[in-house]
Amino acid sequence: MHSQHDKMKAVLVEATGGIEVLQYKEHEVPLQLSPKEALVKNEYAGLNFIDTYHRSGLYPRECPFILGQEGGGVIDALPDDPSTAEDLGFKVGDRVVFGAFGSYAEYTRVPMDKLVPVPDDMDMKTAIACMTQGLTAHYLSFSVGAGIAKEGDWVLVYGVGSGTGQWTSQMCQLNGYKVIGTTSKGKVSDVNHAKSLYGCDELIMLENAAGKSYADYTSVDIASKVMEITSGNGCKLIIDGIGKDTYEISLKCLAKRGLFVSFGNASGAVPAFPVLRLLPQSAYMTRPKLNDYVATREELLERANDVFAWVKARKLNIVIDKVFELEQVQSAHEYLENGGAKGKILFKL
């Protein structure tokens, strides 16, 4: 294994906290590859909410660490033992995207079974945008509620104006669901255009929450709106990435034998609540994570290739909102957490 570089720029977290803990500095290139790893020279890295959870310590990691878990570029080096690379069909120079720790860096050491080949006719920015948010939306829309929500059922998706919510509402519509979305007024200039862009049959507009990454969920009686839209039946599937500020609303919006999916913590983690709260609707609840829905390479590639195909067929609208230089990492995190994002945020390496 040979790489021509031994130093790189990266973003390190030596102690968890606010944006001030993000350090853009020189670091050693991770040259020591196991027989099943590749070294990727990154072109872009993705910014996701989970990065803020790792940075803040909400999701604990051992410090110090290089932040990020989504990136893409070209394979720069492979291990001396060629067997895994040959089995998976990889060679130096291949264009790939990945979900693996350490992507806020010029180079990332990635398990080869986590590498996804980029289609020849797709640019790298779009391919990376399809990873964490696209794959999460795929399992939320097609797997978690399978057998509970059926074609024609109403689903509620929070935060469709950006991030994973923007992908999920569109994929839910692709799966035949009727979608109620929520978003802040600041992200929408034309409601009908927004409904088409986000894949929503109905869109509930909320006031902006100053300095927050999410809307003001107290500004509208969402449960009443949902019951009005669904003729009092509620939603069979509720996909909630907001967390603490919306879980009570979600419980009120459930249909009989509906499923409440809590997958994010934008407003804070959902507190413990009595399981008897699910009794009135004989409801279900789950708290899933992406890794368990791309648990095998076959599943990873199946989901990724579905998302790539829908993007190329223009069945999904992809919004690349902003591209930051990696040294602007503090500004990027501030932008995300203050609610500025209207689509995917990337770092250029």
Residues 141-173 have pLDDT tens digits of 999 999 999 999 999 999 998 889 999 999 999
Find all residues with CB under 8 Å of 291, minimum gap 6, and list them: none
Q: What is the pLDDT of residue 3?
A: 59
Low-confidence ranges of the chain (pLDDT < 70): 1-4
Whether 12 and 66 have beta carbons less than 8 Å apart is answered as: yes
Q: What angle do CA 68, 73, 74 make, to 5 degrees?
A: 135
Q: Which helix (H) or strand (E) holds 194?
A: helix 191-198
Distance CA 50, CA 135 (A): 14
In the numeric block, the tokens 């927050």 are attached to 212
Report pLDDT for 340.
81
What is the reported pLDDT for 209?
Answer: 78
Residue found under tokens 């990635």: 110
Here the tokens at position 229 are: 């839209």
Which whole-number Å values give the CA distances from 342 to 94, 146, 183, 208, in the listed order?
31, 29, 10, 13
| pLDDT tens sequence across 241-286 | 999 999 999 999 999 999 999 999 888 999 999 999 999 999 999 9
Greatest CA separation for the chain: 64
pLDDT over 70 percentage in the chain:
99
Under 8 Å between Cβ of 206 and 182: yes
Q: What is the dihedral of CA 334, 340, 344, 348, to 10 degrees?
A: -50
- 227-238 per-position pLDDT tens digit: 999 999 999 999
- The pLDDT assigned to 342 comes to 86
